[in-house]
Amino acid sequence: MTRPERPRNEDAAGTAADGPRVAAGIAGIDPRPGLSAVDPEALRAWIAEAGHAGYRADQLSDALWGGRAVALADARTLPTSMREGIDRAFRFDTIIETDIQVADEGRTERAIHLLSDGVLVESVLMSYPARSDRRARDTVCISSQAGCAVGCPFCATGELGLERDLESAEIVDQVRSAARRLAPHGRRLTNIVFMGMGEPFLNLDRVLAAAEAITDPRRFGLGARHITLSTSGVVPGIRRLTDLAPQYTLAVSLHAARDPLRDVLVPLNRRWPVAAVVDAASDYQAATGRRVSYEYVMIDRINDAPDDAAALVALLRGRGAHVNLIPMNDVAHTPWRASPMDRIEAFAMTLRLSGVGTTVRRNRGQEVGAACGQLAAERAGQPTAPAVARRRALLVESSARALRGERTAQTDRRR
């Protein structure tokens, strides 16, 4: 299998016009394991077996996690023969190439990553300067899958369908990429959110292994409390996580408190209805002591009426949860728009007056298509204009039915 050379353009600002170059002729994923997801003890054993001294493992670890080395060739403390041996067995980085687009006066970076089989995924790095009441934060929003099978109609990733699950190392390497871009500025990642492309709880084994690498003090070493896992409501996954009782923050993408509407907005709701999702999330909160946050995308005249707020209060009151209201970001294939700000504020006020903690979140990166729900890693094979038009018409019809309170057996996306 031919592999492309890894161009070292990570720090160069790309433009939408030059875009990521998709390497031709890559049939499958490079079979060599990505080093960032290899257990440190296993790696140490491999190095010993290859006849190298124990301190070489520390030198490799420095290169992997120190935030400076872009490629194995940069690990100059290692003898060439050892580097060659490692390269035959492993991948130093599972990301072949990263293109960066900058927005919000340099405070948001959209990174489009090319993987070994030509698949593209995105991560978004957001920097929040220090305020009087808060230290500076650098948060990276990472992807767990290429595309997503859930098919929420307001989400560009959902429109792609599922391309494939990401490997653990492909998830961790998005974090390393962001950390390497911060390091020259003397900054470190403070938070990692699984809110990029994909449904983390439908790729849970690999997501958990990635989170383990990120929190492992011998590897990336970030505290578990600084990691947020977001789900559209995969109940068995939430239950599995609850049994493990980690300190990750759980975010649940709710978007509607009543089943007929949530069936349309989050098609997974037909399998796991909203009450079951909230019960599972509450059990996670009880088991871990971590407050669950609920995400609610505000869509003009779809889920933003006083009745919707009342239903949300009835669902969440007394559960000690927190709601984030997110004005919907525009995506091409829907006729929907963000609710006007005064309606969002009124909705927030209803929740707060009922004792449900609520924040109105303003999204970053909209001008480069890097805001929540806009991640679709521009690529060939975008839906054609008639397909988009058909899809919009279907959505109008299904949401009208849902708003009348009718639950339908099958209204989800079909292309």
Stretch that binds ligand SAH, among 205-213, 282-290, 301-309, 323-331 (CB under 6 A): 323-331
Out of 72, 169, 326, 356, the residue judged to bind ligand SAH by CB under 6 A: 326
For 281-380, list the strands marked E by DSSP.
Answer: 293-298, 322-327, 357-360
CA distance 207 to 201: 8
Among positions 148, 175, 251, 254, the unique one binding ligand SF4 when judged by CB under 6 A: 148
* Candidate list 227, 328, 344, 351; residue touching ligand SAH; CB under 6 A: 328
CB atoms within 10 A of CB 263: 25
* Chosen residue from 163, 373, 402, 412 binding ligand SAH by CB under 6 A: 373
Of residues 51-110, which lie at the interface with ligand SAH (CB under 6 A)?
none
Q: What secondary structure does DSSP assign to 120-161, as a single string?
A: EEEEEEEEE--BTTB--EEEEE--SEEE-SS--TT-HHHHH-
Q: How many other CB atoms are found less than 10 A from the CB of residue 221? A: 12
**Count of beta carbons in the 10 Å neighbourhood of residue 134:** 9
Binding of residue 158 to ligand SF4 (CB under 6 A): yes
Position among 178, 213, 268, 372 found at the interface with ligand SAH (CB under 6 A)? 372
Identity of the residue, 69 or 155, whose beta carbon is nearer to ligand SF4 in the bound complex = 155
328 binds, among ligand SF4, ligand SAH, none (CB under 5 to 8 A by kind): ligand SAH
Q: Hey, what are 377's tokens?
A: 């890693």
| Residue 155 makes contact with ligand SAH by CB under 6 A | yes
* Rounded least distance, CB 343 to ligand SAH, Å: 16
- Number of helices (H), then strands (E), belonging to the chain: the values are 12, 12
Q: Is 327 in the site for ligand SF4 (CB under 6 A)?
A: no
User: Is 122 in the active site?
Assistant: yes
Q: Is 367 a catalytic residue?
A: no
Shortest Å distance, C-beta 142 to ligand SAH = 10
The per-residue DSSP string of 232-266 comes to S--HHHHHHHHHH--SPEEEEE-S-SSHHHHHHHS
Residue 155 binds ligand SF4, judged by CB under 6 A: yes
Dist. CA 119–CA 415, nearest whole Å: 21
From the list 97, 122, 159, 295, the catalytic residue is: 122
Burial class (CB in 10 A: 0-12, 13-18, 19+), 384: exposed
**Environment class of residue 390 by beta-carbon count within 10 Å: exposed (0-12), middle (13-18) or buried (19+)?**
middle
The C-alpha atoms of residue 175 and residue 125 are separated, in whole angstroms, by: 9
230 binds ligand SAH (CB under 6 A): yes
Asked whether position 232 contacts ligand SF4 by CB under 6 A, the answer is yes
Q: In the set 20, 151, 365, 369, which binds ligand SF4 (CB under 6 A)?
A: 151
Tokens read off for 397? 């019809």
Taking the least distance from each CB to ligand SAH, the nearer of 176 and 262 is 262
Q: Which of 108, 174, 293, 329 binds ligand SAH (CB under 6 A)?
A: 329
Find which of ligand SAH, ligand SF4, none residue 331 binds, CB within 5 to 8 Å per kind. ligand SAH
**Cα angle: 219, vertex 220, 224; to 5 degrees:** 115
Phi, psi at 56, each rounded to 5°? -65, -30
Count of residues touching ligand SAH (by CB under 6 A)? 17
Residues that bind ligand SAH (CB under 6 A): 148, 154-155, 195, 199, 230-232, 253, 295, 297, 326, 328-329, 331, 372-373
**Residues assigned a catalytic role:** 122, 372
